[in-house]
Structures are given as C-alpha cells and as structure tokens.
Amino acid sequence: TPAPPPGLEDDRERLTSGSRVLLVVEDDARFALILRDLARELGFQCLLAATATDGLEAALGHAPHAIILDMNLPDHSGLTVLDQLKRNPRTRHIPVHVLSAADRTREALELGAVGFALKPVQREQLLDVFRTLETKSAPGTRRVLVLEDDARQRESIQKLLETEDVEVECVATAHDALQRLREHTFDCMVMDLRLPDLSGQDLLERMAAEEAVSFPPVIVYTGRTLSLDEEQQLRRFSRSIIIKGVRSPERLLDEVTLFLHQVETRLPPEHQRMLQAARDRESTLEGRRILVVEDDVRNIFALSSVLEPRGAKVEIARNGKEALALLTKSLAQPQLAVDLVLMDIMMPEMDGLTATREIRKHDAWRKLPIIALTAKAMRDDQEKCLQAGANDYIAKPLDVEKLLSLLRVWMPKG
C-alpha cells in the first residue's frame, strides 16, 4: 500500500494483530492529525490517506475495522470511494463515517455510510462518530424488523434474510411495528407500503415524530411502482427504495446486508451468489441520455466507448454554447430530455464553469445532475466547479470504475 501522506506519520509500520485499525481518508493535514490523535486516544491504530486512490488502496490492503472519509478529495469525490468500498465484497462490511464541508448526507447514507457530519466538527461530535463506528464494527447478532401483512410473503422474506448472525422479527401491522421499535433497537427495517392499519407513509411520519423510537434504515419493499410524488415523500424518511419485482429478492438481500455490515465472504454461498447477481445486473445507464460536453475528440471517443455499451444514449456538445442549445431543444421535445451532464471545464467559446452557471439559472435544470471533468487534481478547480453548481467532479485522465461510481450516485432514480 502507498506510504502515508508526506510529513504525516501513522501506524502502518507497527500494526499489531488484534488491534482495531481506523483508516482516515482526509486531505487537510491538520484535521487528519486531530483525527489520528483522537483515534489513538480511544485505543485505535490509525492509517492516513490524503487522496481517494490511496484511500481505496489502503482499505483493500489493510482491511481496517472502520473508515472516516472526507468528501472533497483532490483526485476524486469521496462518494466514488464510498461506492467502490460498498461494491467490493472484501470491504463492503466496513463501517464508513463521512465528514464533509458540503452537505451530501442523503447520497452518503443511501450508499451505506453509517453517518454524516458537516464540518467544522466539534470534539464532542467526533466522539459520537467514533462511538457509532465502534457499535457498527462490533461483532454480534444483527436484528431486522420485517413489516408485511401477507403471511406467505413474510415467511419468504424471513427465510431469505435469516442467518446465524441475523435475527428477523416479523410483524403484520404498523401498530405492532411501532411497539417493537419502542422496545428494541433494530439495525434495519423492511416494510411494505400497503398495510391493514396505517399507510406506510403515516407509519414513517409517526416513527420520525416519536422521540422514544429508534429509527433504523428503512427499506421499502413494495409490489407496485411508486409515483414520483410518493418517491419524493418517502425519500424524506427512507434510505433506499426497493421495488418488489420478479428478481428482486437479490436487491433486498443486497440492501439489507449493506445496512447490517455483514461480512460477505462469511455469508452462505447461495447468498453470496445472489449478491453477485444483483451487482452484475446493474442497469443504471440502460436507456439513459447523457450529454457529454467536451471539445477533445479522444475524450469524446473514450467516454462514448464506456457509456454506450452499458445502454446509455450519448449526446455530444463541443462547448458550453452547444450544450445550452441542445438542452433548450430538449425542452420542446421531452423524448430528448437529458438525464445527466458530463461537463468538461476547459473549452473554447464557453467554458464549463460558465455553462454550468447558465444551466443552473433555469428552473427546469436546477436538479439536472452535472459532473465536472477537471484537467487535474487541484483543490481550487473542484471548489470552483461545486460553487458554479456542479454536483460532483472527476479529474482526468478518467478512471472508468470511478466514473461509473459517480454515475451510479448521481443518475436520477426510476
């Protein structure tokens, strides 16, 4: 694995077996040292990494017990690190707590982070972060609450999720669920929206309102397609929405094991196969229209050869002006609507920052995901991109896996 960041000393040369290891991925040296010292004080050995690439390498090389992850790293966004950690069977179970100056709470929690704290962070908050990481990385039985009124469905979910380390408790009504939540702490909850006594929406609102009720990650597992409005409503409470479908037991297992921090290699072989299947059948880009704003033919070719085989339709604009013209045209022709923009920053006619600011002036495009392609891993470049209104950034030369991670994070759902 790479050496610690220049001038910073960590514990990688003296890791002892049986010790608890914390990996800190943070490019602000001063803050990294504060985290390192606190980790040591609380009995952890600490590894430091200052870039996304070094962070991923250290996670794979040292298999730490827990990770603290910054979002604005010089080479790639912290969300790409989180996505890749959670897609790799070897690192998926490691609890990751995110610290960032920009609010990326929802994206991080949906990807499986155990928590999110906005910088600047006080010592008391940091102690909470360490407590959360300790409870999530401690071995022991995990508990799942399943709320489903159909007895057959209840039984099949229980059979799917139960292992020697996972206890599944099933209830048939929202009132029973509230009662169980008052009495016990669960690591995760799976629920249907159609319930005999309360609507799923009402139950979530009650859970949110009740001080005494612990509120675990909720996975909505439902037999019908949700309207956009319902999705928006549920998104306020639910970490991840799963639609019940023919093959969706895999998706359910995938999400539940993620929130339980189960070690994938220790799961029954059948479960491991299902998780692999859920990952292989990834259809994030299928039928999606991506606008590539880029003036370099080689980059256009490179991007198209990644996106098109995965089912995306690629539109090309050579500069910011062409991009705006193309987006304007799509307003009149909804079938040409763009789902996501990859925006190069250095272009003739109109550069990427100006184009991004212009796009954000229109109500119709306020929520359009824009990923900036920056020429080099420079802190200033990224700050400028985010300030101009980009959702995220990736430095060239493009790393295919990291680009796909960003597309998974930002591609609108549904």
Give the CATH number of the domain where residue 120 resides: 3.40.50.2300
- Give dist(CA 259, CA 32) in Å, integer: 27
Dig out the tokens for 81 from the structure.
């690190």
Task: Tell me the whole-structure pTM to 2 decimals.
Answer: 0.84
Which regions of the chain are under pLDDT 70? 1, 212-214, 223-226, 237-247, 281-282, 377-379, 414
Q: Quote the number of domains for the chain.
A: 3
159, 99: one domain: no
Alpha helices in 9-122 (DSSP H): 29-41, 52-62, 78-87, 105-110
Q: Residue 109 falls within a domain, yes or no?
A: yes
199, 255: one domain: yes
Q: Residue 7 falls within a domain, yes or no?
A: no
Last residue of a domain, one of 282, 310, 326: 282
∠ Cα 44 90 85 (to 5°): 75
Can you give the pLDDT at residue 169? 96
Last residue of a domain, one of 282, 312, 333: 282
Q: Residue 98 falls within a domain, yes or no?
A: yes
156, 265: one domain: yes
177, 258: one domain: yes
257, 376: one domain: no
Can you give the pLDDT at residue 243? 42
Specify burial of residue 245 (Cβ count, 10 A radius: 0-12, 13-18, 19+).
exposed
Q: Residue 162 falls within a domain, yes or no?
A: yes
Return phi, psi of residue 314, to 5°. Answer: -105, 125
259, 186: one domain: yes
225, 161: one domain: yes
Q: Residue 232 falls within a domain, yes or no?
A: yes
211, 318: one domain: no
- Give dist(CA 299, CA 313) in Å, integer: 16
Q: Please, which residues have CB within 8 angstroms of residue 115's CB and are 6 or more apart in sequence?
A: 97, 98, 109, 129, 132
Q: Residue 15 falls within a domain, yes or no?
A: no
Please give the single-letter amino acid code of residue 54.
Answer: D
93, 220: one domain: no
CA distances to 35, 103, 298, 374 from 397, in Å: 31, 27, 11, 9
Q: Which domain holds residue 316?
A: 289-410
Can you give the pLDDT at residue 378? 67
Can you give the pLDDT at residue 337? 93
Q: Is 106 helix (H, G, I), strand (E, B) or coil?
A: helix
Last residue of a domain, one of 249, 282, 315: 282
Partners of residue 190 on adjacent β-strands? 146, 219
331, 241: one domain: no
Q: Residue 207 falls within a domain, yes or no?
A: yes
Q: Residue 16 falls within a domain, yes or no?
A: no
pLDDT in tens, 356-408: 999 999 999 999 999 999 877 666 778 889 899 999 999 888 888 889 999 98
164, 131: one domain: no
276, 374: one domain: no
- Give dist(CA 37, CA 30) in Å, integer: 11
